[in-house]
């Protein structure tokens, strides 16, 4: 029964009518073969090592195709994870190959927009790693295209899924923090070493790293109305595995000030030059990376919004701060494609929301404009809030 939404259940029982005598709901539900969502993964590099186990763990999803322009990577991932999928060297071949329902886009950031458009045009739902498009306008056009074809489009990250996000959001909504004034988020490490696209035009530390904090802070505090930012390039040259020595073209250092409703101001800092011994493995991080301040209490998220280890709530003049919400409840940052894919099968609506992802994309673009012009930039986009 858990895989059948109430709406579908009611539709089924209504159409089946009294003629269907079922001995028990459970045995009836078991007798319905569950349709699996057929998924195609494009981009078989680093992050596919996180996505594939997630997708393969789902009873509602079948990974039918793998694709990479470095074709040996599609073959290697197919073998390594026993996927038993069809493999393709480009998106056109994959779209013309075995049928599937949803494409999961895990390629270089700059390629997402074009690939997502091609998949939507071909009638596929899309989960995209960030960013879903190279500009906010292009992202909006993709969403219109998806809607015109009755398809779903979603974009990473999945930070709003964590129990810690939910706890913080509910604590804010309950008024525990009093009047909220300020919040801060930070995320950085010394930068990926394997691919040049992170540092090329259309890459950068904002769409790769700051995007998590922007999603968390807007998710907690509501859509931003305006932004001011400064970005810079601290390290103008890098050596990466795929291209050797390269010139850094996209910001590797960024500070953003976001203006939310009711005078709330939040700050995000992110960069590819932050010493952080935890790198991509932060399960033991005991420091906080997100803080929210009100006049009755403050909260600090321990770990990162993508790797949540608990929330410290400080709301007493006499008692020490309390470490709460330490249970991750199975949340993993790489779960977005699985969760949204399963929501299609179940006919349910996940908390992850494409308008929220588009809002973050507009923030990133506006931050670059603000830094280049020295001006405050007004934002247009919004999303359904509160999220939890
Ligand atoms: N690596 C991580 O830990 C991590 C974590 C979270 C999010 N991400 C995001 O995931 C995406 C991929 O990052 P990555 O680290 O896996 O990069 P990567 O360089 O390891 O892998 C990207 C793969 O995409 C392939 N590719 C590029 N263009 C293609 C195209 N047109 N068609 C088919 N394949 C194509 C490349 O050949 C490469 O194998 C990025 O958006 C990144 O921001 C990465």
DSSP per position, 289-353: EEEEEESS-EEEEEE-SSSEEEEEEE--SSSPPEEE----TT--GGGHHHHHHHHHHHT---S--
The model's pTM is: 0.92
Q: Which residues contact 332 (CB under 8 A, 6 or more apart)?
A: 50, 54
Say yes or no: 70 and 174 in one domain. Answer: no
The rounded Å distance from CA 48 to ligand 1 centre is: 8
213-236 pLDDT tens trace:
999 999 999 999 999 999 999 999
Structure token pair of residue 244 = 């050797």
CATH of the domain at 89: 3.40.50.720
Residue 343 inside a domain? The answer is no
pLDDT at 3: 39
Distance separating alpha carbons of residues 274 and 96, to the nearest angstrom: 44
CA 309 from centroid of its chain's CA atoms: 18
Number of Cβ atoms within 10 Å of the Cβ of 3: 16
Distance separating alpha carbons of residues 327 and 308, to the nearest angstrom: 9
* SS3 at position 276: coil
Number of Cβ atoms within 10 Å of the Cβ of 340: 25
Say yes or no: 132 and 147 in one domain. Answer: yes
pLDDT at 280 over 80: no
Considering 126, 155, 184, which residue would you say is the last residue of a domain?
155
Look at ligand 1, atom 11, and give the residue with the nearest C-alpha: 106
Angle at which helices 211-221 and 163-173 cross, to 10°: 30
Considering 155, 187, 215, which residue would you say is the last residue of a domain?
155
Say yes or no: 20 and 45 in one domain. Answer: no
Query: Residue 262 in contact with residue 216, Cβ under 8 Å?
Result: no
Query: Residue 204 in contact with residue 363, Cβ under 8 Å?
Result: no
Between 131 and 19, residue with greater pLDDT: 131
Report the nearest atom of ligand 1 relative to the CA of 130: 41
Give whole-number Cα distances, 143 to 126, 140, 154, 208, in Å.
10, 5, 9, 21
Say yes or no: 80 and 167 in one domain. Answer: no
Average pLDDT over residues 344-356: 97
Q: Which residues contact 357 (CB under 8 A, 6 or more apart)?
A: 130, 132, 139, 154, 155, 156, 215
Residue 97 inside a domain? The answer is yes
Say yes or no: 25 and 119 in one domain. Answer: no
CATH of the domain at 189: 3.30.360.10
The rounded Å distance from CA 64 to ligand 1 centre is: 19
Cα four-point dihedral sign 198, 204, 209, 215? negative
Say yes or no: 234 and 374 in one domain. Answer: yes
The rounded Å distance from CA 239 to ligand 1 centre is: 18
Between 34 and 178, residue with greater pLDDT: 178
pLDDT at 34: 66
Say yes or no: 131 and 176 in one domain. Answer: no
The domain tally of the chain equals: 3
Look at ligand 1, atom 44, and give the residue with the nearest C-alpha: 47
Residue 338 inside a domain? The answer is no
322-341 pLDDT tens trace:
999 999 999 999 999 999 99
103-149 pLDDT tens trace:
999 999 999 999 999 999 999 999 999 999 999 999 999 999 999 99
β-strands 125-128, 102-105: how paired? parallel
Using a pLDDT cut of 90, give the percent of the chain over it.
Answer: 88
β-strands 153-155, 265-271: how paired? unpaired
Number of Cβ atoms within 10 Å of the Cβ of 299: 27
pLDDT at 310: 97
pLDDT at 33 over 80: no
Using CA atoms in the order 108, 112, 114, 120, what is the torsion angle rounded to 10 degrees?
A: 150
pLDDT at 249 over 60: yes
Considering 155, 185, 204, which residue would you say is the last residue of a domain?
155
Look at ligand 1, atom 8, and give the residue with the nearest C-alpha: 47
H-state helical runs in 149-238: 163-173, 205, 211-221
Say yes or no: 142 and 26 in one domain. Answer: no
Look at ligand 1, atom 31, and give the residue with the nearest C-alpha: 111
The rounded Å distance from CA 106 to ligand 1 centre is: 5
For residue 50, is it left (φ>0), alpha (ψ between -120 and 50) or beta?
Answer: alpha
Domain span holding position 85: 34-155
The rounded Å distance from CA 190 to ligand 1 centre is: 18
Distance separating alpha carbons of residues 137 and 54, to the nearest angstrom: 31
Q: Whose structure tokens read 């005991």?
A: 286
Residue 64 inside a domain? The answer is yes
Q: For ligand 1, pick from 41, 43, 240 the residue to mutate: most ligand atoms within 8 Å of CB.
A: 43
Query: Residue 99 in contact with residue 75, Cβ under 8 Å?
Result: no
Confidence band for 291, pLDDT divided at 50, 70 and 90: very high
Say yes or no: 359 and 220 in one domain. Answer: yes
Structure token pair of residue 386 = 């509160």
Distance separating alpha carbons of residues 149 and 134, to the nearest angstrom: 22
Residue 384 inside a domain? The answer is no
Say yes or no: 99 and 238 in one domain. Answer: no
Distance separating alpha carbons of residues 345 and 118, to the nearest angstrom: 22
Average pLDDT over residues 20-36: 48
pLDDT at 17 over 80: no
186-215 pLDDT tens trace:
999 999 999 999 999 999 999 999 999 999
Say yes or no: 363 and 306 in one domain. Answer: yes
- Of the ranges 25-29, 34-38, 344-348, which one carries the lowest mean pLDDT score? 25-29
Confidence band for 278, pLDDT divided at 50, 70 and 90: confident
The rounded Å distance from CA 26 to ligand 1 centre is: 42
Say yes or no: 3 and 60 in one domain. Answer: no
Look at ligand 1, atom 43, and give the residue with the nearest C-alpha: 208
């Amino acid at each position: 029964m858990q895989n059948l939404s109430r709406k579908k259940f009611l539709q089924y029982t209504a159409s089946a009518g009294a003629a269907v005598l079922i001995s028990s709901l459970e045995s009836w539900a078991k007798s319905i073969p569950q349709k699996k969502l057929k998924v195609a993964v494009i981009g078989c590099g680093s992050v596919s090592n996180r996505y594939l186990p997630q997708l393969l763990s789902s009873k509602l999803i079948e990974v039918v195709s793998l694709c990479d322009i470095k074709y040996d990577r599609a073959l290697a991932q197919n073998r390594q994870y026993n996927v038993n999928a069809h493999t393709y060297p480009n998106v056109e071949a994959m779209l013309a190959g075995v049928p599937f329902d949803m494409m999961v886009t895990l390629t270089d950031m700059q390629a997402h927009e074009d690939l997502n458009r091609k998949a939507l045009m071909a009638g596929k739902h899309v989960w995209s790693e960030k960013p879903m498009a190279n500009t906010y306008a292009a992202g909006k056009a993709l969403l219109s295209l998806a809607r015109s074809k009755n398809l779903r489009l979603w974009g990473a990250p999945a930070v709003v899924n964590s129990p810690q996000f939910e706890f913080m959001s509910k604590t804010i909504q309950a008024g525990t923090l009093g009047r909220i004034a300020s919040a801060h988020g930070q995320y950085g490490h010394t930068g990926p070493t394997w691919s040049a696209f992170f540092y090329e035009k259309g890459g950068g530390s904002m769409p790769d790293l700051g995007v998590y904090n922007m999603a968390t802070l807007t998710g907690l505090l509501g859509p931003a109305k305006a932004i001011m930012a400064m970005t810079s390039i601290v390290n103008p040259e890098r050596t990466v595995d795929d291209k050797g020595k390269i010139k850094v073209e996209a910001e590797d250092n960024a500070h953003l000030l976001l203006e939310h409703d009711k005078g709330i101001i939040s700050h995000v800092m992110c960069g590819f030059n932050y010493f952080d011994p935890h790198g991509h493995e932060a399960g033991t991080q005991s420091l906080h990376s997100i803080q929210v301040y009100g006049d009755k209490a403050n909260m600090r998220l321990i770990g990162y919004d993508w790797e949540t280890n608990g929330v410290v709530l400080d709301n007493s003049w006499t008692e020490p701060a309390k470490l709460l919400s330490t249970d991750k409840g199975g949340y993993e940052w790489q779960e977005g494609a699985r969760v949204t894919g399963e929501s299609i099968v179940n006919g349910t609506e996940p908390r992850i929301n494409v308008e929220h992802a588009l809002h973050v994309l507009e923030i990133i673009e506006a931050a670059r404009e603000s830094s280049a012009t020295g001006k405050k930039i007004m934002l247009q986009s919004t999303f359904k809030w509160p999220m939890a």
